[in-house]
Structure 1
């Protein structure tokens, strides 16, 4: 009996699982590696964190090539290679006995993270949907939240119970066992045309095709649309990733270590609710305006904490900021998909993501430098608010207005 479920939703489900593992072992897992490696070997935090920076930069450098590869060959080859690289990198981290050996490990991890994160997942899902383009990408990337909520505690527990070497080897092998068959089996099609279908599961050439986006890129405006979006999310994520990296240190000053941990967990939970709300509304909303509203919310939270630093403003501001985190991290591919269409998405967003990820990778170091120069976090948050405001202005002014 033929399944009534459109195959595109199976692709979304597979990408959700990929995101759970990739964010759990990649971006969020880096904090676990930092703690576990420094504890096991007695190396300094700066030695290990510099290798993590290499991981982020390698990932950024691979975005454009990834977009071209998926556009030409489909997602399966790139995501299979990325899975192998990520798993090898995780296992290799457990085997190092010299600090310099961390760098090739994190290079492999960076290649894996590049292919299995926002660009790879968005480019995989984008060809399958028109009417539900925003919801499908949002639901797929929502696996990132579960990677933080479930993946990081599971990784910490495994390393704690089995030790660094056995724990990371187990995590790497388990990830390969789950993801390799999933990607090979489910992501074998490039799009609905391979199944004789139109986007959203319709019949090619049938009436009632999904309505096209209002702003479609043309040779005259495509550069303006692309770079206004790229600059907006690059600046906003520079501030956002920096805030996330320094959140514990900031909260510790007002709430203590235990309170800081609770606030970070609550912020993560609110981020998940933000993504769920986004999935509900995104396909019926102007996505540039939606992203600007999220940036304005973050701008207000940063200003409140910076101008009126206290435990109360920190808690309220963090929760508001956290609700918007999911919007900002998810909407950049949706804006590009809406404005450039499915056919050009992988190549165009690969270019945008390279620039965005290079900026966001600098966020923790940039905020740390500002803190050292300015002496405390409140003025740093005001600078971050200004950066976010510039990003919002770039996004709002991007389309030409009559």
Structure 2
């Protein structure tokens, strides 16, 4: 008898929870570790920051192997191993007594983050849907927003109340208690065929939805489709992550510390709204075109702030930029899924994600070095706008030429 709720949506719900923890303890949690470790031990920010950079690079290096593993064995073994690695890394950060000990801790954290972030979640959801491929991935990754909104304050609270060691022990233990049984129980099926169904919950004999990709990868065009999308999102995220890392410093020049904090929070709020809107429309539109529109919005926002720096343009530009953040960070796996199909997705996107994450990890340093050379943020934002324009051109022209 057919279940009232297609099991694929349970997979999405499980991945939403995984994303809450992985972004809260991984990417966004790194700022908490930076502050807590430097405060507790008196070590320099540069010492701790270099270990955090290791975390990002290890994560990028693991994407391709993760894609191949999920394609061969399914998501459950990789995500279970990633959970153990991430939780171990979080706990060990609270136990270090020498700066060098941070590096193996952040290596563990990086392995976990690689496994439990965009590639792992997208590859877990991809086999279950065709008509709702974009919406399902968007809703799963939306847990990232809640990881920032709820996870970071919770992490700050336990570290403040219990201290660095006990606080991170509690955080790692809670994550393990929630995620290990969730992954082991819910991700026990690799796809709908294990339940005698086709994608989207259709009866197996109907073959499910046929799909509606605007560009289907073929031996002739697959290389250009893949690398045009990879370059586009890598460049755009290089500028985006650099902007996010320096947003407080940029905003403080116009709004002061308190005002800067409010603007960054508001930007995070509209990012969530952007993801909600994306979930509503993504399966009804050409996704390359949608991604180009988001990149153009970010390009316009950066140009406005860079050319006409003022409180008004900063606030409006930041909110426009923030609305598009959720589109850009979520659409890269959706573009690959739409164009390459479910069977090839895990391995293909693992390759793309390696390049995207390696380049985007340089974003904060890229903006910082430009600021040192150019002396202020407005010209830096103009350079970032140029980088975003190149990304948009790569995404658009790659599909046009492949046709």
TM-score range, shorter chain: over 0.9
Q: 1:121 corresponds to which residue?
A: 121
- In structure 2, what is the equivalent of residue 96 of structure 1? 96
Distance in 2 between residues matched to 1:366 and 1:207, nearest whole Å = 48
- Give the distance between the partners of 1:374 and 1:212, measured in 2 at CA: 46
1:17 is matched with which residue? 17
Within 2, Cα distance between the matches of 1:208 and 1:394?
A: 33
Show the counterpart of 1:159.
Answer: 159
Partner of 1:400: 400
Partners of 1:175 and 1:340 in 2: how far apart?
33
- Report the number of matched residues: 402
Q: Which deviations, in whole Å up to 9, do the C-alpha atoms of 1:85-106 show, x marking residues without a partner?
A: 0000000000001000000000
Structure 2 unaligned residues grouped into runs of 5+? none
- Secondary structure at the residue paired with 1:205? helix
Indicate the residue corresponding to 1:329 in structure 2: 329
CA distance in 1, matches of 2:142, 2:210: 24
C-alpha separation in 2, matches of 1:209 and 1:94: 49
2: CA distance between counterparts of 1:160 and 1:320?
Answer: 34
Alignment of 1:2-401 (within 5 A): 3-206=3-206, 209-401=209-401
Query: Given that residues 125 and 136 in structure 2 are in contact (C-alpha distance below 8 angstroms), is that contact kept between their aligned partners in structure 1?
Result: yes
Q: 1:18 to 1:208 in 2, by over 3 A?
A: closer
- For residue 36 of structure 2, give the secondary structure of its aligned residue in structure 1: helix
**What is the CA distance between 1:214 and its match in structure 2?**
2.5
Moved over 4 A (4+): none
For residues 63-95 of structure 1, give each alpha carbon's deviation from its aligned partner in whole angstroms, at most 9, with x where no partner exists. Answer: 000000000000000000000000000000000
SS of the counterpart of 2:206?
coil
Deviation at 1:400, TM superposition (A): 3.5
Mapped to 1, the partners of 2:267 and 2:211 lie a distance apart of 36
- TM-score normalized by the length of structure 1: 0.99
Asked if the contact 2:305/2:317 (under 8 Å) is kept, the reply is: yes
- CA separation in 2, counterparts of 1:24 and 1:32? 10
Deviation digits for residues 224-277 of structure 1, max 9, x if unmatched? 000000000000000000000000011111100000000000000000000000
Structure 1 residues without counterparts, runs of 5 or longer: none
Q: State the superposition RMSD in angstroms.
A: 1.0
Q: Is the 8 A contact 2:248 2:260 kept in 1?
A: yes
Q: Counterpart of 1:48 in 2: which secondary structure? A: helix
Separation in 1, partners of 2:199, 2:373 = 52
1:295 Cα deviation from its structure 2 partner: 0.1
Q: TM-score, normalised by structure 2?
A: 0.99
Question: What's the CA shift for 1:42?
Answer: 0.4
Q: What SS does the aligned partner of 1:399 have?
A: helix
Q: Distance in 1 between matches of 2:374 and 2:229?
A: 30
Query: 1: CA distance between counterparts of 2:25 and 2:208?
Result: 42
